Structure 1
Amino acid sequence: MDLSARADQPAKQAFGAVTLPSAGAPQPIGSYAKGCISGAVALGDDGPHWQAMRISRNRHWGMPQTISLLERLSQDAVRIGWGSGILIGDMSQPRGGPMASGHASHQVGLDVDVWFTPMPAKRLTREQRETIPFTSMLDKSRFLTVNERRFTPTAARLVMTAASYPQVERIFVNPAIKKKLCEAWTGDRSALGKVRPMYGHDEHFHIRLACPPGLASCKPQAPVAAGDGCDKSLAWWFTPEPWAKPKPDPNRKPPPPPRPVMVSDLPKACAALLTAPASTAAAAYQAAPPAAAPYPDGEDASDAAGVPDDMEAVPLPRARP
C-alpha cells in the first residue's frame, strides 16, 4: 500500500494493524498524544519481578528507557514489600500511534500503566492475565475518596518511588489518590508535584518518561509547575465543575461526530514508518510461556493476586527467567 493510501486511513486502524516494530534505532516521533515510534523494544512477558498483562493487545512495546525503568521499579517494588513485583498494563503498540481503545496518549513508547495490584507469588497463566479484574483504590460509596484498606502506605510508596526517578516526568493518578498523598505522605515530597490528578486512574497509575536527551524528533510537554501540586489546582477536582455534564440545547442541531485522527494528522515520518521494514530480531522473538502452577480448589487468580473481597543500549527482547 502506498503512503497516500495509508495517510487516508484513520490512524488507530493503520497503527493497530501493524504487529511488529520497524527496524532501526529506537526513536520517539512527535508528541505523547500525536506521534509514533521507530525501532521499538518489547517488554518480555515475564520478568523476575513483573508480569505483562492483557498480552493479546500487543501493547507492550516502547523505548529502551521505558523497559529499563520498569525493570528498576519491579526490583524496588519487591524491596518495599509490594508483593512479588508489579503487573504491567499497556505501554505502546509496535510502532506506536493512536490505539483503537483505552488511551489518547501512549503513542511514542514513553508511557506505561502499572496496575494497583501486586504481582502474586504464583505466576498467572496467560488466560488469567486476560481476565483477572482490576483493583480500584476508591471507596465507591463516597465521592472521590480512597479505600484505605486498598490504597495502603505501601501502594503510596510505590507511586512515590516511581515519581522519584529523574527520567519520570509525570505520573497520573485519580484525584482522590493525589489528595491522599498530599495529606499523608511524610517522606521526601520533592517529587510529589510530578504526581498529577486525572480522570480515571484509580485501578492503575500511568508513568510518563521525559523525552530522551538529544532526540529532537520527540516533542516534550511543558514542565510540571513548581510545588507539590497540593493547591487550588487539586482542589478544583473536588468541585462540581470537572464532573458536570454539558446541558443540551434543544434548539441546537446535534453536532456531527468528531472526525477521526488520520495518519496524515500525525508527523510526516509516521506515515513512512507504517511501510518501513519490520525488525528481524523482533520477528524472531518468541516469549517464553509463564511458569504458572494450577491454583488450589477454591482459589482463583483474583485471590492469588491479592485482589481484596540513561541508559546503555538495551537488547531486543528475550525470554526472561
Structure 2
Amino acid sequence: MAHKAAKQFFGAQKVGSSQKPTPLGSYAKGCVAGAEQLPETGPTWQAMRLSRNRNWAHPEMIDYVEDLSRFAKRIRGWNGIYVGDMSQPRGGPMLSGHASHQIGLDADIWLRPAVDLNLSRAEREKISSISMRRAKGAYVNSNWGPEQHALLKAAASDPRVARIFLFPGAKVQMCKDETGDRSYLRKIRPWWGHHYHFHVRLSCPPGARGCIDQAPPPPGDGCAEAQKWVTDILNPPPPRPRDPNAPKPKPKRELTLADLPAQCTDVLRSR
C-alpha cells in the first residue's frame, strides 16, 4: 500500500472524512481531514466541472470563497464567481492536473464574469472560462478590464491569503493601473498559465500544527519581478548548452502514501 501511487487512493474518495477539519502537510504533499463541500450553487457562486468532485476544501477556504463571491456581486456586470478546482474530498494528490491543491487551502477562481448563476450540471461541463492573455502572457488582451483588477485586489487583500498565482502580463498591468494602496500586490505572484483563472492559496489556519506554510513572498510589491517575467517572454534568454556527459534527468516519481504525513493514512481510513 505504501508503494502504490497516493493519487489512486485519494482520487477514489467520494466524500470527506468524519474528522476535525485539519490541513496536514504542505500544499503539494499532504491531505485534509474533515473537508467540507462547497455547495454546487449558492446565491453568488457556482462550482464548475462537478464531475471532477473537486469542490471540497478546509472550512476556512469555503468561507473565503463565499466572502469573495459576495464582493464579486458588487462588480459591474458580475453576479458572483465561477469556482474551479479546489481539492478532492480528502485532499491528497490528484489523478490528473494540479501538483498542489492537496490540503484544502487552494482554489481556482475563473476570470470569466459569472453572469448566469443558473447553469445546469451539463452546462458547467461544457462552458469554459475566457483567456485574458496575449503574446504568450506578456500582456493582457481586451477581455481584461477594471472588473478583473477589482476582483483580484479584493481577493489578495483578505488577510487569510498567502499568495495568488496569475499570468505575468496581468500582474504588470495591475502594477501600472493601481493608484491606491499597493500592499496587496505583493501577494499576487506571476506564474505560467493562470490566464483563464487565478489560483488562491490561503495560509495555514491558526492552530493548524500539522500544516506547513509556504515561505512568504519577498518584500515589496513584486512589480519588478513580474516585469522581468514579461521581458523574458518577449526576449527569451538563450538555452543553456547541455553537457553531453551529464546523466539524463530522472522522470518525476509519483508520490506514495509514505511520502505524505502519517496522519493521511488515518484520513483515508476514516469513515
Residue by residue over 1:145-187, the C-alpha shift from the partner in whole angstroms, topping out at 9 and shown as x without a partner, is 110x211011111001111111111011001111111111223
CA offset digits 1:193-249 (Å, max 9, x no partner): 000000100000011111001111111111122110012464145216978767666
- Structure 2 segments unaligned to the other structure (5+ residues): none
Does 2:261 match 1:267?
yes
Give the secondary structure class of the aligned counterpart of 2:183: coil
Please, what TM-score do these two structures have when normalized by structure 1? 0.79
1:101 to 93, 96, 100: 96
- Calculate the aligned-residue CA RMSD, in Å: 2.1
* TM-score normalised by length of structure 2: 0.93
**Residue among 41, 45, 49 paired with 2:44:** 49
- Aligned 8 A contact 2:44 2:73 in 1: yes
Identify which of 138, 158, 164 aligns with 2:157: 164
Query: Counterpart of 2:59?
Result: 64
Aligned length: 270
Change (3 A) 1:109 1:268: same
In the TM superposition, what are the counterparts of 1:1-20 in structure 2 within 5 Å?
Answer: 5=1, 7-20=2-15
Distance change in 2, residues 1:143/1:29 (3 Å) = closer
**Distance in 2 between residues matched to 1:154 and 1:205, nearest whole Å:** 14
Residue 133 of structure 2 aligns to a residue whose secondary structure is coil
> How high is the sequence identity, in percent, across the aligned residues?
48
Question: Is residue 2:16 matched to residue 1:35?
Answer: no
Instruction: Report which of the two structures shows the higher radius of gyration computed on alpha carbons.
Output: 1
Q: Distance in 1 between matches of 2:214 and 2:31?
A: 16
User: For 2:80, which of 79, 85, 97 is the aligned residue?
Assistant: 85
Determine the C-alpha separation between the residues in 1 that align with 2:29 and 2:236: 24
1:119 and 2:114 aligned: yes
Q: Does 1:145 align with 2:139?
A: yes
SS at the partner of 2:107? strand
Structure 2 residue 224 is the aligned partner of structure 1 residue 231: yes
- Paired position in structure 1 for 2:212: 219
The 1:257–1:222 alpha-carbon spacing in structure 2 relative to 1, beyond 3 Å, is: closer
**Structure-1 separation of matches of 2:16 and 2:240:** 41
Deviations 1:24-48 (A, max 9, x none): 1100000111100000000000000
Counterpart for residue 293 of structure 1: none
| Matched-pair contact (CA < 8 Å) for 1:36–1:107 | yes
Q: Which has the higher mean CA deviation after the structures are superposed, 252-261 or 225-234?
A: 252-261
Q: What amino acid maps onto 2:34 in structure 1?
A: G
Q: Distance in 1 between matches of 2:240 and 2:140?
A: 27
Kindly state the Cα deviation for residue 251 of structure 1 after the two structures are TM-superposed. Answer: 6.9
Within 1, Cα distance between the matches of 2:48 and 2:237? 30
Contact 1:82–1:158 (Cα < 8 Å) also in 2:
no
**Contact 1:236–1:242, Cα closer than 8 Å, also in 2:** no
CA distance in 2, matches of 1:74, 1:219: 27
CA contact (8 A) 2:26 2:211 kept: yes
Q: Is the 8 A contact 2:183 2:221 kept in 1?
A: yes
Name the structure 2 match of 1:312: none
Q: Which whole-Å CA distance do the structure 1 matches of 2:146 and 2:119 have between them? A: 25
Preserved contact between residue 22 and residue 34 of structure 2 (Cα < 8 Å): yes
Distance 1:233 1:254 in 2: 32
Question: Which residue is 1:177 aligned to?
Answer: 170
- Matching of residue 200 in structure 1 with residue 202 in structure 2: no
Indicate conservation of the 8 Å contact 2:132/2:195, yes or no. yes
| 2:82–2:110 contact (8 Å) kept in structure 1 | yes
